[in-house]
Every structure is written in C-alpha cells, then in structure tokens.
C-alpha cells in the first residue's frame, strides 16, 4: 500500500465555518423539495426552495452563497434526491428544469453582490430596504428568464408558450417568497453571520 509523506495542510478556521454553513444550507434546500404551501389563487404549488436561494445570497454573501448553490447542484447531480419532487441525477440539470437550477448560483451571487457590495459580509437588516427589494427582484427575474428561456429552447416552444407553462403559474408564489424574505430581513430575525 502506498504511503504519503507530506504533512497535513489544515483548512483555515474561517473557511471551515463558512464552508460548513454553505454545505448545510445546500442540504436544507434539498430537504425543502417536497414542502409546499398551497395558494388559494394559483394552481401551481409553491415550494420554498427559491426563498432559500434568496437567503443564501442574503446571509452567506456572494462567495459562500454561490458555493452553497453549487454544492446543491453537484450533490443532486451525483444522486442526492434534492431536486423538486425528490428527483436526482445529472438528468434534471439538462432537463426542462435545468435553466432554473443553473440560475440558482448566479442568483445567489447577484443578491450577495448587490446587498453586501463585496466579499465582506454586512448585516442584511442594516442595508436600505429598496436595495434588498431590488436585489430580490433582479434575482427573481434572472431565475425565471434563464429557466423559461432554456425550457423554450429545449422543448421547442415559442416564447409565450414557455412563459405560460413555466413562469406565469409561479408568479403569485414568487411574490409570496419575496415578501417572506423581505419580512425576514426587515424584522431583524436573522442573526448576522460572523466569519
């Protein structure tokens, strides 16, 4: 059996803490897959996954929020049942939900970049509310633009057909999740993260 002579290269404490949070948040996103809150005026069930994509950007910032979303995608790709409806495998990343899934890391990075304005984390409650709203709205538009455009290309749909099938049914749910994220940030119910 081969032996290694090199010494152990320990991971820095701040990296370990942020990395552990990113990994656990990725698992939380996966655990949420089946939880849905029915809305009275929409046929589509609302899953809370996008709320946690918002929170990843808001709480972990642009670097570790993005890392967390990438871990979520990678774990799903190699077989963790983390995608909506307990699906797993590389297939969903190429399938009709692929555009939505690939947009999660970019959305988290976008929110983190707008809210924290750099890699030093700030308390989201101290950020002016319009900035938070702008970040969440931009991320939502990004998620649905990527998701709908990819589905339209993949399934050979026209733009309005893809919007009717993949975006419009979810609009009420998205408004709900943005409201929830804003309430969480505004109410100061989140402990600011210290690296």
Touching another protein, residues 123-142 (CB under 8 A): none
Cβ pair 181, 116 in contact under 8 A: no
Residue 122 interacts with another protein (CB under 8 A): yes or no: no
Using only the alpha carbons of the chain, give its radius of gyration. Answer: 18
Q: Cβ 36 to another protein, closest distance in Å?
A: 11
Distance CA 113, CA 126 (A): 15
Closest CA to 124 of 52, 192, 64: 192
With a CB cutoff of 8 Å and minimum separation 6, the contacts of 65 are: 22, 56, 57, 58, 59, 108, 109, 111, 112
Question: Contacting another protein (CB under 8 A), which of 70, 127, 149, 168?
Answer: 70
Residue 10 interacts with another protein (CB under 8 A): yes or no: yes
Q: Which is nearer to another protein, 171 or 179 (CB)?
A: 179
Stretch that binds another protein, among 93-101, 109-117, 119-127, 136-144 (CB under 8 A): 93-101
Cβ pair 122, 115 in contact under 8 A: yes
Q: Cβ 7 to another protein, closest distance in Å?
A: 9
Residue 116 interacts with another protein (CB under 8 A): yes or no: no
Closest CA to 195 of 68, 19, 69: 19
Residue corresponding to tokens 């998620």: 143
Residue corresponding to tokens 């990004």: 142
| Cα three-residue angle 170-53-143, rounded to 5 degrees | 50
153 to 182, contacts with another protein by CB under 8 A? 154-158, 161-162, 164-166, 176-177, 179-181
Residue 143 interacts with another protein (CB under 8 A): yes or no: no
Residue 44 interacts with another protein (CB under 8 A): yes or no: no
Stretch that binds another protein, among 3-11, 106-114, 124-132, 141-149 (CB under 8 A): 3-11
Question: Contacting another protein (CB under 8 A), which of 51, 110, 113, 143?
Answer: 51
Question: Contacting another protein (CB under 8 A), which of 28, 127, 134, 138?
Answer: 28
């Amino acid at each position: 059996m081969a032996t290694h002579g090199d010494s152990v290269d320990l991971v820095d404490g701040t990296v370990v803490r942020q990395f552990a949070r990113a990994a656990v948040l990725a698992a939380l996103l996966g655990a949420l897959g089946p939880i849905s809150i029915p809305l009275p005026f929409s046929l589509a069930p609302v899953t809370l996954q996008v709320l946690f994509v918002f929170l990843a950007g808001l709480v972990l910032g642009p670097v570790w929020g993005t890392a967390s979303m990438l871990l979520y995608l990678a774990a799903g790709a190699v077989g963790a049942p983390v995608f909506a409806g307990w699906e797993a495998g590389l297939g969903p990343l190429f399938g009709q939900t692929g555009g939505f899934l690939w947009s999660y890391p970019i959305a988290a990075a976008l929110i983190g970049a707008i809210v924290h304005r750099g890699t030093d984390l700030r308390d989201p409650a101290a950020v002016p509310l319009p900035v938070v709203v702008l970040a969440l709205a931009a991320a939502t538009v990004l998620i649905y633009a990527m998701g709908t455009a990819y589905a339209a290309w993949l399934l050979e749909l026209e733009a309005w057909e893809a919007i009717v099938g993949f975006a419009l049914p979810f609009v009420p749910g998205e408004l709900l999740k943005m409201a929830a994220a804003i309430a969480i940030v505004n109410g100061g119910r989140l402990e600011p993260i210290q690296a």
